[in-house]
Amino acid sequence: MAAAAAAASASSGGGGGGGGAAASGHVSVATAGMPKGYAPRGGAVAVGVTWHGGPAVVVQGGADRTGEHYADACLYEPGGSRARRLEADAGDVALPLCGGHTAVTLPPCPSADGAAATATSSSGRTRIVLFGGINFVDEAVYDEVFEVSLAEPSGGGGGGGGGGKKGKAKDGDAIPMSVRRPRVEGEAPLGRTGHAMVSLPLAPAPTSPCSEGGGESPSAWAAALLFGGSSPSDGVMADLHVLYAFDKERDGSASPWYRWQGCGTTGAVPTGRELHALFCRPGTRRAGGCSSPALHAAGASPAGPHRLAVAAGGGDTAAAAAAADEEPDALVVVGGRAGDGSVLAEVAVLDLHTLTWAEPVPAPCPIAAAATGVSHGGRVAYLYGGWAGATELSGKLLRLDMREGGLDARRWAWTTISLSPRPLPPPRFAAAGCALPAAATPDDARLYVFGGMSAEEDLRDVLTITLPPLPPAAAH
C-alpha cells in the first residue's frame, strides 16, 4: 500500500531472477472469484482457517489507488464458485477502514486438561488477530488489536454459515463472524502500516507463582511476532514485538486476553523496513510448540510489563538446558523497502532461542509487497509478484526452501518457478496471499492470490497456483 503512488506510473516488467533448478507451476484465474460487489483493491490481508473441516481463506480490508478504503471481509473455499461475505454480529465493534495492516490465525489451543489441541480456541471459535494499518485519506495509522472469530456451525457433517443450520450454505449466503476489541495489556507498538506478523504455538511451560492474589500465573499458549513497518510520523521501523495470547485469567477463569511485550535483540539487527515478507521457520518443537526460553520467560504472565531481552548467560537456565539439543525456531525477514526508498534483496534470520540476528545474506532479487504463503510445516515459503523498485513490478513466483541448513540462510535453496499457461496474469504488488494444502501430502499445495495492484488498474481476481513438488530433502 505504501507503494501505491509508484503503481500509477509503473511499467509491467518482471522482477529479478531467482536461483535453483527449474520448476513449473500452473496458474488459473477466476475473475468472478470474489463476492458480488467486492471492489478491486490492494493492501488486503489473507489468512488460512479451517472451515467445515477443510482449508479456507479469510480476506479482509484493503484500499484502492483512488483512496477508497475498505473493512469488509469474505471467506474463500477452494472449489467454491465464489467467496462468501462475512457479516459481523449485531453490536460488534467496527473494523477500521484501512489497508496495509496484518492478520494472523492463532494456532490451535490445547484443551483445558492439556490434551490434544483443537482447531479452534477454547471458546470453540477460530480466532484471527488483526493489527495496524493506515487510512491515507484520514492520515490515520492504527495501533489497536482486533479479534475476528468464526463459529464452526453445529449440526454434524458441516452446517451452513452458522446458527446451527443443517447442510452446507450456498455460495451467496453470508457467514456470521464476531468482531471485538479484546483486553490487551502491556505497551502497544507504535501505530504502523507495511509491517508483518506471524503466529506460532508455544510449548507448555511450568506454571509460576502469581503475585496478584496468590495461586498460579497462567502461561500464554500462543504468540504473534511483529517486525518492522512504517508510519508518516516515525518513518520505517526495525523493532520487534510479541503479542501473547492467554485463555485464562489470573484467577483461573476462562477469558481470552492478550499482552504486548517489546523485544530487545542482539546481533546484526536488520535495517528498518516496510512491505517485507515475514516467515517463522519452525525448529524441532518436540513439545508441540516453540520452546524458546526467552519467549517462555515473558509468556508466564508477569504482574507488570517488562521488556523482553536475553542477556549472555541469562534467562531460565533449566529451560535453556532443555532446549539446548533442539533446533531453534527462527524468524525470517525477506526483502522490503528501506527508509531511503530502495527495495532490499536480503534475508535476515533471528534465532528465537537467543534473540540474536545473523548477518543478512543476499536474496535473488529485490522484492517488496509480495503475496506470500508457506507449506511443509512452514519450512518452505513462496513469494509471488511484488515491487522490485522504481517502476518495476514482478509477475514471478519464488520459492525459498528452508528444510535443510538449519538457521544458515546461505544454505537455503531459492528457485524461480515457471508459470503456465500463457498469457499470464498481469504483474502485481500489494496482493494478499495464502497457501493451502490440496491433499494429504505436503507436496500437493496451492497458493491463492487475491487482487492487488497492477501498473494499470486495481484487481479483484483470484489466482490459484498449483505448486510443483519439491526435490527430496537430505536425511538428517
CB atoms within 10 A of CB 56: 24
In 265-400, where does DSSP find H-type helix?
A: 293-298, 317-323
**Dihedral through CA 312, CA 314, CA 318, CA 322, nearest 10?**
-30
Least confident of 20-24, 127-131, 183-187, 347-351: 20-24
Query: 445-453 and 432-437 as β-strands: parallel, antiparallel, unpaired?
Result: antiparallel
Q: Residue 116 pLDDT more than 70? A: no
User: What phi and psi values does residue 297 have, to the nearest 5 degrees?
Assistant: -60, -40
CA distances from 201 to 224, 296, 421 (A): 9, 11, 39
Contacts with 150 (C-beta within 8 Å, 6 or more apart), sequence order: 49, 51, 58, 75, 86, 125, 126, 128, 162, 175, 176, 177, 178
CB-based burial label for 368 (10 Å; 0-12, 13-18, 19+): buried
% of the chain exceeding 70 in pLDDT: 76
Residue 311 has a pLDDT of: 35
Which of the two residues, 22 and 292, has the higher pLDDT score?
292
- Give the C-alpha separation, 1 to 11, whole Å: 17
Contact 133, 101 (CB under 8 A): yes
User: What does the block give as the cell for 217?
Assistant: 500465573
Is it the case that residue 114 has pLDDT exceeding 50?
no
Distance CA 292, CA 322 (A): 10
Amino acid at 191: G
pLDDT at 234 over 50: yes
Which CA distances in Å does 118 have to 108, 275, 285, 386? Answer: 5, 32, 17, 35
pLDDT digits (tens, 9 = 90+) for 341-395: 999 999 999 999 999 999 999 999 999 999 999 999 999 999 999 999 888 999 9
Put simply, whether the predicted model's pTM sits higher than 0.85 gets the answer yes
- Reported confidence tier of residue 14, pLDDT bands at 50, 70, 90: very low
Which comes out higher in pLDDT, residue 171 or 318? 171
Report the b/e string of 451-460 with b at 16+ CB within 10 A: bbbbbeebbb
| CA 433/CA 447 separation, integer angstroms | 7
**What is the arithmetic mean of pLDDT over 117-127?**
56
Residue range 258-294, pLDDT digits in tens: 999 999 999 999 999 999 999 999 988 766 788 787 7
Residue 107: the pLDDT is 82
Statement: residue 57 has pLDDT above 60? yes
Calculate the average pLDDT of the chain: 82
* Banded model confidence at residue 321, pLDDT cuts 50, 70, 90: very low
Please state the φ and ψ torsions of residue 91, each to the nearest 5 degrees: 90, -5
Q: What is the mean pLDDT of residues 430-457?
A: 90
- The answer to whether 193 touches 1, Cβ cutoff 8 Å, is yes
- The pairing of strands 54-63 and 371-375 is unpaired
Return the ∠ at Cα 126 (arms to 140 and 128), rounded to 5°: 20
Contact by Cβ (8 Å): 396, 424: no
> Which pLDDT does position 22 carry in this prediction?
61
Assigned C-alpha cell, 1: 500500500
In the block, which residue shows the cell 497492477? 454
Say which residues have a Cβ less than 8 Å from residue 464's Cβ, sequence separation at least 6.
27, 28, 29, 30, 78, 446, 447, 448
Strands 413-420 vs 23-30: parallel, antiparallel or unpaired: parallel
Question: Average pLDDT for residues 41-49, to the nearest whole number?
Answer: 97
Q: Is the per-residue pLDDT at 232 higher than 80?
A: yes
Kindly tell me the number of DSSP H helices and DSSP E strands found in the chain: 3, 31
Tell me which DSSP letter residue 393 carries: B
Helix (H) / strand (E) containing 338: none
Q: What is the pLDDT of residues 187-218, one digit of tens each?
A: 999 999 999 999 998 877 654 433 334 444 56
